[in-house]
């Protein structure tokens, strides 16, 4: 029996799942993975007040137009002097500034004669100084649990001398179903063409164990499922409909609980979710568009629940063409995003060529006409 998409989402939200595995990886290996804990700054960055320009550090006073130059400071300087009124120190960009100084006079606005600095610009407290903790303050969260680690996080982590990061390491089992299907790496029959699309996405969240293909028999599907249950999260592709050779949902019911067998939305109506031993079981249809969209709708919802952080990304976009939903139920449409808005792509469950053009998808109401300029919500495809 098909249920509404809202009901399906509520059922996933109501269930509890086994805690996902984590592992500690070297900093460079963490890029693209999901942070498994909040990482807090150990130090202020910068750790002290620094010069933001080449010039002269001064202490603003009643007469700050002619100052005695007392020395020089560079980024490598270890000893930092105390500055007095009427003094100046030459500093370069990134240099520590003398204790007590509160402004930097830029080099191009400075005139030096016989060891004296003559100021040729208006100065004020804080001018051209990077204050301690301007970038990151001690105790501030640098990376949040559930956040995807990017190369741009690595610089700040390295400054903090954080050399390893704890990331989620969900162990996925993936298998296809069907007598006509061969494992994706074999040159016979019809290769499993959906698993290679999903595996690189799943690797963001952990390790993927590809178990090949179950044959069209209840016994084969049951054995494959028992093998898959050694892992944390099971994804079955194909065999999800109601035909006499579709066994996956029957096997889930016999071993655990089938939360729902499908939803009343075209394209994804045969995507289902089960639960065995508190492990999520994602049932994907055997057609590429149906499978990928069902993964983004149900699969990423399940992963979000496991890691305790929402990873699905949505965006409001404007339609660039009229669109009439002439179906008996709500329906999925692939969208290609441009600077001006979103272009609806051809509708269908197995259009590989449309899928790789798409930026994401939307779900629109049956019997409704959406005109050019209509605002709709697009769920972006994860890459």
Question: What is 272-333 written as a DSSP string?
Answer: EEEEETTEEEEEE-SSHHHHHHHIIIIIHHHHHHHHTS----EEEEEBSS-EE--SSSEEEE
Query: What average pLDDT does the segment 364-381 reach?
Result: 96
**10 within a domain of the structure (yes/no):** yes
Instruction: Name the residue range of residue 193's domain.
Output: 5-21+169-307
Res 243 pLDDT > 80: no
Res 244 pLDDT > 80: no
Are 39 and 169 contacting, i.e. CB atoms less than 8 angstroms apart?
no
Secondary structure (3-state) at 142: strand
Query: What average pLDDT does the segment 178-188 reach?
Result: 92
**137 within a domain of the structure (yes/no):** no
Mean pLDDT of the chain: 94
**One domain for residues 60 and 186:** no
Q: Which of 51-65, 180-194, 363-377 is predicted least confidently? A: 51-65
pLDDT of residue 62: 64
**One domain for residues 184 and 246:** yes
**292 within a domain of the structure (yes/no):** yes
pLDDT of residue 241: 79
> CA 348 to CA 331: how far, in whole Å?
10
Report which of 44, 125, 131, 119 is spatially closest to residue 88, judged by C-alpha positions: 119
Query: What average pLDDT does the segment 211-234 reach?
Result: 96
Are 142 and 156 contacting, i.e. CB atoms less than 8 angstroms apart?
yes
Res 370 pLDDT > 90: yes
Beta strands in 227-278 (DSSP E): 233-237, 257-260, 265-266, 272-276
- Is the peptide bond between 46 and the residue preceding it cis, with omega within 30 degrees of 0? yes
With bands split at pLDDT 50, 70 and 90, how would you rate the model's confidence at 63?
low
**One domain for residues 201 and 295:** yes
Domain of 195: which CATH number? 3.40.980.10
**One domain for residues 153 and 179:** no
pLDDT of residue 113: 93
**One domain for residues 299 and 189:** yes
Secondary structure (3-state) at 19: coil
**190 within a domain of the structure (yes/no):** yes
pLDDT of residue 168: 96
**One domain for residues 268 and 189:** yes
Query: What average pLDDT does the segment 149-164 reach?
Result: 94
pLDDT of residue 322: 95
Among 280, 307, 334, which residue terminates a domain? 307
286-297, pLDDT tens digit by residue? 999 999 999 999
> CA 87 to CA 110: how far, in whole Å?
14
Provide the H-helix boundaries in 110-181. Answer: 151-159
**One domain for residues 341 and 271:** no
**One domain for residues 231 and 280:** yes
Quick check: pTM over 0.75? yes
**136 within a domain of the structure (yes/no):** no
pLDDT of residue 240: 82
**One domain for residues 69 and 112:** yes
pLDDT of residue 383: 85
Structurally, how many domains does the chain consist of? 4
pLDDT of residue 339: 94
Report which of 282, 34, 307, 13 is spatially closest to residue 147, judged by C-alpha positions: 34
> CA 66 to CA 111: how far, in whole Å?
10
Res 108 pLDDT > 80: yes
Query: What average pLDDT does the segment 111-136 reach?
Result: 93
């Amino acid at each position: 029996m098909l249920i509404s998409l809202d009901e399906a989402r509520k059922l996933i939200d109501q269930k509890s799942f086994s805690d996902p595995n984590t592992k500690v990886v070297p900093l460079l290996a963490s890029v693209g993975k999901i942070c498994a804990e909040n990482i807090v700054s150990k130090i202020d960055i910068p750790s002290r007040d620094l010069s933001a320009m080449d010039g002269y550090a001064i202490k603003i006073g009643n007469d700050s137009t002619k100052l005695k130059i007392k020395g020089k400071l560079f980024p490598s300087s270890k000893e930092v002097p105390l500055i007095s009124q009427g003094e100046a120190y030459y500093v370069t960009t990134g240099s520590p500034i003398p204790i007590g100084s509160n402004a930097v006079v830029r080099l191009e606005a400075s005139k030096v004669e016989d060891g004296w600095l003559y100021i040729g610009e208006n100065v004020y407290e804080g001018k051209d100084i990077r204050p301690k903790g301007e970038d990151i303050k001690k105790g501030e969260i640098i990376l949040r649990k559930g956040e995807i680690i990017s190369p741009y996080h690595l610089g700040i982590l390295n400054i903090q001398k954080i050399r390893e990061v704890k990331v989620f390491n969900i162990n996925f089992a993936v298998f296809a179903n069907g007598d006509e299907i061969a494992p994706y790496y074999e040159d016979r029959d019809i290769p499993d063409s959906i698993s290679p699309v999903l595996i690189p996405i799943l690797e963001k969240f952990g390790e993927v164990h590809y178990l090949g293909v179950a044959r069209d028999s209840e016994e084969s599907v049951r054995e494959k499922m028992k093998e898959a249950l050694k892992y944390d999260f099971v994804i079955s592709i194909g065999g999800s409909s109601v035909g006499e050779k579709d066994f996956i949902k029957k096997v889930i019911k016999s071993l655990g609980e089938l939360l729902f067998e499908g939803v009343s939305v075209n394209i994804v109506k045969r995507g289902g979710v089960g639960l065995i031993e508190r492990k999520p079981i994602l049932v994907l249809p055997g057609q590429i568009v149906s499978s990928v969209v069902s993964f983004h709708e149900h699969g990423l919802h399940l992963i979000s629940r496991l890691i305790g952080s929402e990873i699905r990304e949505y965006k409001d976009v404007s339609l660039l063409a009229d669109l009439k939903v002439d179906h008996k139920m709500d329906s999925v449409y692939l969208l290609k995003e441009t600077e001006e808005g979103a272009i609806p792509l051809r509708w269908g469950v197995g259009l590989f060529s449309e899928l790789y053009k798409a930026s994401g998808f939307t779900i629109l109401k049956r019997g409704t006409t959406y005109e050019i300029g209509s605002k709709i919500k697009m769920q972006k495809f994860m890459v």
